[in-house]
Homo-oligomer: A and B are copies of this chain.
Amino acid sequence: MPRYKLVIEYDGGAFAGWQRQEDGIVTVQQVIEDAFAKFTETPRMHASGRTDAGVHARGQVAHVTLERTWHPNKLQGALNWYMRPHPVSILSVEEMPIDWHARFSCIGRRYVYRILNRRGLPALEIGRVWFQPSKLDAAAMHEAAQRLIGHHDFSTFRAAQCQANSAMRTLEHLSVERLGDEIHVHASARSFLHHQVRNMVGTLAMVGFGKWSADDVTRALEAKDRAAGGPTAPPDGLYFMEAFY
């Protein structure tokens, strides 16, 4: 029973999120599992974490356990062939020990959030960025972001539907940089709460617009109340970049 690690890229705008749904809407998990079924057995996939509808991935990680042994490159080629024309791509396949688990062995996740900050609407980056025509102060956002790093109760940045037992998380890295017309927010942690990155980005945008100070961000965190945080940034700008093992 060989186990394979898959690294996956997808355009989240085409899917109702990662997780297979019962009602027939298209999800990333379903597209990959259905591709397996077209040339071999139907496995059960496990991802490092679920992504919501509209959220992209450049390095999602999942595993499958198969009956048959495959050369990793053959498996990659067959999956990419049978998934067409869905915007999902298997970037690599690697055989792993049977006790290796995409979710439970994962010791860190890294996301990037892209904001397009210019007067003109996106033409090339539609659905791939959060478009903000009002000027954002990336340096102020970066400074405020440092208030969120560390071990905290992140209830202020947690979606109502979050299923985690605890809102305690350790945010390892949160930085904001301007790259031309774009602002990139980089976030890394062992794990995140549901909507945590998008809620932190929406809150930092309040700082970027000059409406909130860094102290306001500290107060929002300490309130441990979603109503004290900023708005939820849209999924379009969020990219799951990497899972660490």
In the complex, residue of chain B having the shortest beta-carbon distance to the beta carbon of A7? B120
Q: Are B73 and A91 in contact (CB under 8 A)?
A: no
Assembly stoichiometry (copies): 2
Q: Are B11 and A121 in contact (CB under 8 A)?
A: no
Query: Count of A residues near B, CB < 8 Å?
Result: 24
A88 at the interface (CB under 8 A from B): yes
A120-B9 contact, Cβ under 8 Å, with A87-B126, A126-B87:
yes
Contact partner of A80 (CB less than 8 A), chosen from B9, B58, B91, B120, is B120
- On chain B, the residues within 8 Å of A91 by CB distance are 118-120
- Produce 1/0 per residue, A213-229, CB < 8 A to B: 00000000000000000
- Produce 1/0 per residue, A108-148, CB < 8 A to B: 00000000001111111010100000000000000000000
- On chain B, the residues within 8 Å of A120 by CB distance are 9, 76, 80, 89-92
- On chain B, the residues within 8 Å of A73 by CB distance are 119
Q: Are B123 and A87 in contact (CB under 8 A)?
A: yes
Cα–Cα distance between A123 and B80 once the two chains are bound (Å): 10
Q: Are A121 and B80 in contact (CB under 8 A)?
A: yes
Query: Among residues 10 to 58 in chain A, which have CB atoms less than 8 Å away from a CB atom of chain B?
Result: 10-11, 56, 58
Cα–Cα distance between A11 and B127 once the two chains are bound (Å): 13
